[in-house]
Chain A
């Protein structure tokens, strides 16, 4: 086994004394000149405390100086080292190697998905930045007398956008976004979490404009709720939850014309009217009567299999008046409240 001569291990006081382990990694390589990709397997001796990034550094120092990847902070702050570890995007510097070595498992390291590969593990982040820019990622302050020194935000208002403020723009959430695979133009989880960070900011004045832009093609209603973004985000931003909050803000501001919003509205109305979902209304109310008629052959297929319940006898839950009264009560309560710092959104739960 080759001994590590990597500078950053030697500078760590006592690093040479730490226990070492042999780790094997399968790394996806891509050569932009030949346009060919392949997998290389390397074994390196690293401290037991090493991360995937440390292992890559060891490979680069000892075996192959041409291995390319991004890094900077080494402490999960800069967002440079996003890559796939066994198929799932993660920060290489935040992923310890020990658990894999202990399990006798050879990890596969490959570039993030949904972004073009430039070389080896380096992806082109240009489409990512373009989407971040598209949501106007800066404050447009309210037309009020801005305090000269500092503009204090009430803690309750700060809490509303706390999670979204934690984003380090690493791209891990985008890597496995299922809607983006299918529609590359979809704004995607990182940009939408960023959008919410400003829409939810009590000092910003562009709420309606911002929401209007997000309610069109490739906007919030493109999200298929696969929850890969929440699963992958190394900073617990939970972008899918931010998208749900954008949906709720859109409803509050009356942006309900997108097919996605209409779809959501059918669900709301159905509990209110009958308890269970009125599926017969879902198709025509979502895509409109004209499009629904175009889909008659499809509707007939469903009807033949008994998939379209009789519209004359929609399911009705017992005691549904309770739900009606509940709806009225909450609507009344919401009207009396200021737009921000309202009741905590159920997804604003902190500290996970």
Chain B
């Protein structure tokens, strides 16, 4: 863990998933890390620009990486699986081929954008707090034990695979979320679909195929007795949370299982208030029972 990161929340956390951005900022403050804003970055393209216009994707990624460099940061902190994979994929392509990097920089220069020298790493919040010094820092601020809360970890694909680009842990048997859930005093629940896809990338274009994927983690986590599911990805969150009613109808089973962003779970254990964790921005609401287990400090007069 470092003391200073270029902070790339991505579009979802900046728009529909604002609760993730606010929880991340709150937990960063507790962890005493500085998040440096990147005011002129674009969307990373969520794999869609990568697919439709690969050359454009490479350039906008280089522009994002170049901005971090110019701010004097050698690491970008991400809070989204999809951003993490897309930026790391582009970074690999740019770092491994000097001719490609030179051409991209030439074009960036022509349009007056920041160029990229190749010296930036992209790290997801999950990786930074689940191991090494970051884990110790988190342990020291996790003052509230969320004892009795059963948490089903849902990794999502693009923080695990392809391992040659992500490579933080064994992609078939990851343990980072379990480690953090345990550090929060809660109990991790195991189920096979925790490493599978939630279907989000195709939920608009191929809803039935996507729902067939989405019901698996919901069903299995529920059957294993989980109170909540936690995920490091705002796209997975949107799918598991906002599409949950559709998944319930599809499966003929009313799941009603609240979905937490990783930063919200960590935040609850660190005693951060509901006004910053903003659970009210979820479509599937927290039940009073779960609220109790999360030990949320109720702040009188503040709408969370």
**Chain A residues with a Cβ under 8 A of chain B:** 86-88, 178-179, 181-183, 186, 221-228, 230-231, 238, 240, 243-245, 247-248, 251, 258-268, 270-271, 275-277, 279, 282-283, 286-287, 298, 301-302, 304-309, 315, 317-320, 322-323, 325-327, 329-330, 333-334, 343-347, 349, 352
How many angstroms between the C-alpha atoms of A343 and B11 in the bound complex? 28
Shortest 6 CB-CB distances between A and B: which pairs?
Answer: A182-B212, A227-B161, A259-B205, A247-B51, A325-B111, A267-B48
Task: List residues of chain B with CB within 8 A of the CB of A86.
Answer: 172
CA distance A203 to B210 in the complex (A): 37
Contact A322 B47 (CB under 8 A): no
* Cβ–Cβ < 8 Å partners of B48 in chain A: 263-264, 266-268
Which residues of chain B have C-beta atoms less than 8 A from A308's C-beta?
Answer: 16
Q: Are B209's CB and A179's CB within 8 A? A: yes
Chain B residues packing against A (C-beta within 8 Å): 11-12, 14-18, 39-43, 45-60, 63, 89-90, 92-93, 96-97, 100, 103, 107-108, 110-113, 157-158, 160-164, 171-172, 196-197, 199-202, 204-206, 208-213, 238, 242, 245-246, 280-283
- Of all chain B residues, the one with the shortest Cβ separation from A177 is B197
Q: Say yes or no: A349 contacts B16, CB within 8 Å.
A: no
Q: What secondary structure prevails in chain A residues at the interface with B? A: helix
Find chain B residues with CB under 8 A from A317 CB.
39-42
Smallest distance from the beta carbon of A84 to chain B beta carbons, Å? Answer: 11
A1 nearest CB across to chain B (Å): 30
Chain B contact residues: helix, strand, loop or mixed: helix
B198 to chain A, nearest CB (A): 9
If A227-B158, A231-B161, A309-B15 touch, whether A251 touches B201 (CB-CB below 8 Å) is no
Q: Which residue of A lies closest to B210 (CB)?
A: A224
Question: 20 A-B Cβ contacts within 8 A?
Answer: A179-B209, A181-B213, A183-B206, A222-B202, A224-B213, A230-B162, A248-B52, A251-B53, A268-B56, A275-B43, A276-B11, A276-B43, A279-B15, A305-B280, A309-B15, A318-B40, A326-B108, A344-B100, A346-B93, A347-B54
Q: Which residue of A87, A262, A267, A282 has the most chain B CB atoms within 10 A of its CB atom? A: A267
B40 & A346 in contact (Cβ 8 Å cutoff): no
A265–B52 CB distance below 8 A: yes
Contact of A88 among B15, B158, B172, B196 (CB under 8 A): B172
> Chain A's nearest CB lies how many Å from the CB of B76?
16
Judge whether B212 and A183 touch: CB under 8 Å. Answer: yes
| Residues of B close to A283: CB separation below 8 A | 204
A268 and B52: CB pair below 8 A? yes
Query: For the complex, what is the distance from the CA of A347 to the CA of B160, rounded to whole Å?
Result: 18
A277 touches B199 (CB 8 A): no
Known: A259-B204, A305-B281. Contact between A222 and B209, CB under 8 A?
yes
Answer whether A277 and B15 are a contact pair too, CB < 8 Å, given A179-B209, A223-B202, A225-B47: yes
Hey, which chain B residues are within 8 Å of A258, CB to CB? Answer: 205
| A283 and chain B: residue at smallest CB distance | B204
Instruction: Report yes or no: B245 in contact with A277, Cβ–Cβ below 8 A.
Output: no
Q: Which B residues touch A268, using CB under 8 A? A: 45, 48-49, 52-53, 56
CA distance A287 to B161 in the complex (A): 28
> A276-B11, A306-B18 known; A270 and B43 CB under 8 Å?
yes
A279 with B11: in contact, given A182-B199, A302-B283 (CB under 8 Å)? yes
A346 to B211, CA, bound (A): 31
Q: Report if A226-B196 is in contact (Cβ < 8 Å); known contacts: A248-B54, A322-B113, A346-B54.
A: yes
Give min CB distance, B248 to chain A, whole Å.
Answer: 12
Alpha-carbon distance between A293 and B50 when the two chains are bound, in angstroms: 29
The answer to whether B283 and A330 touch across the interface, beta carbons within 8 angstroms, is: no
Residues of A near B15 (CB, < 8 A) are 276-277, 279, 309, 315
Given contacts A287-B204, A349-B93, 8 further A-B contacts (CB under 8 A): A224-B210, A226-B157, A227-B161, A244-B47, A248-B52, A277-B12, A317-B40, A326-B63
Chain B residues near A224 (CB-CB < 8 A)? 197, 199-202, 209-210, 213
Instruction: Specify which of A245, A264, A326, A349 is in contact with B107 (CB 8 Å cutoff).
Output: A326
Other-chain contact of B39, A182, A225, A318 (Cβ < 8 Å)? A318
A259 shortest CB reach to chain B, Å: 4
Chain A hits for B49, CB < 8 A = 264, 267-268, 271
Give Cα distance in the complex from A261 to B93, angstroms: 24
Residues of chain A with a CB closer than 8 A to B161's CB: 226-228, 230-231
**What are the residues of chain B within 8 A of A262 when measuring CB–CB?**
205
Residue among B45, B53, B200 with the highest chain A CB neighbour number at 10 A = B53
Q: Which residues of A contact B103 (CB under 8 A)?
A: 343
* A251 touching B42 in the complex, CB below 8 Å, given contacts A182-B209, A322-B112: no
Q: List the B side residues contacting A333 at CB < 8 Å.
A: 107
Docked pose: A223 CA to B238 CA in angstroms = 19
Most buried by B among A225, A260, A345: A225
Rounded to whole Å, the gap between the CB of A245 and the closest CB of chain B is 8
Contact call B204/A286, Cβ cutoff below 8 A: yes
Q: How far is the CA of A224 from the CA of B210 in the complex (A)?
A: 8
A226-B57 contact in complex given A270-B43, A275-B40, A276-B43, C-beta closer than 8 Å: no
A300 to chain B, nearest CB (A): 11
Cβ-closest chain B residue relative to A331: B56
Whether B46 lies near A267 (C-beta < 8 A) is yes
